Each structure stands twice: as C-alpha cells, then as structure tokens.
Amino acid sequence: MITHPETLDVVVGSNLFADILTDIGGALQGSLGLAASANINPAERLGPPMFEPVHGSAPDIAGRGVANPIAAIWTAALMMEHLGEPAAAARIMNALRAVTGKGQVRTPDLGGKNTTADFAAAVVEALSR
C-alpha cells in the first residue's frame, strides 16, 4: 500500500486495521480530507450501511473553517450510488471534479487559502450548472 498503492483497488480488514489503513490511504492521496468511505455489506445487505469521511468529524479543527469537505461530499456520492441513485452520484462527482480540476478553490491542507464554506459553495455552484 505504501510503495505501490496503484496496485490496490479494494482493501478489506477488521475495524481496527481498516481504520489505520484508510488513514494511511488518505495521507497517500495528499490529505485525510480526500478519503471517503462506505461501510456496507454488498452481498447480503444486512445491517445498516454507514457512510463517512475517513477522517471522521475532525474535532481538532471543528469550527475553524479549514476542514477539507471533499471526503464528506464524495461520501454523499457513495451513499447516493448505494441507494440506487446513480445519476445523483454522478452529478456530485462531476461537480467535485469540476472544482478540483480548476484548482482555484483549495483548502489549507491542499496548499490553498479557501475555507470549508468556500469550497462547498464552489461545489454547489458547479452542481447548479
């Protein structure tokens, strides 16, 4: 995972080890704020699924406006896909791609100066197009 992350598509593990691995995966991407997650049972669909950014609620930076919302927004796309709404999931992902592709709105973890609200507003604007 560290030296050849491109060789992995899906990683399965216990809660403890998967938590560690997903944090490492987020860091390898460039920021924990980029890693979305879906905890599902795709075969039997038993139990409720859970969708959350890998970083969780990030209480250490809560209320400061510096959190990267990409993982939270991407997680919403995963949830829409799981709920049978692929068009909604695609719209969300296309908006994320549009905003990140321009590179004009970036939170501090990605070398930018924009706030969480700035980035979210840019995604909402991209969704409305």
Domain ranges of the chain: 5-58+66-128
Residues 79 and 67: their CA atoms lie apart, in Å, by 21
Going by pLDDT thresholds of 50, 70 and 90, the confidence category of residue 37 is confident
Which pLDDT belongs to residue 121?
98
The least confident of 35-39, 56-60, 78-82 is 56-60
Q: Under 8 Å CB-to-CB from 79, ≥6 apart: which residues? A: 38, 49, 51
Please tell me which of 1-10, 54-63, 101-110 the model is most confident about, judged by mean pLDDT: 101-110
Residues 3 and 102: their CA atoms lie apart, in Å, by 29
Q: List pLDDT tens digits, range 91-104.
A: 999 999 999 999 99
54 neighbors 30 (Cβ within 8 angstroms): no
Amino acid (1-letter code) at residue 13? G
The predicted model gives 24-34 an average pLDDT of 87
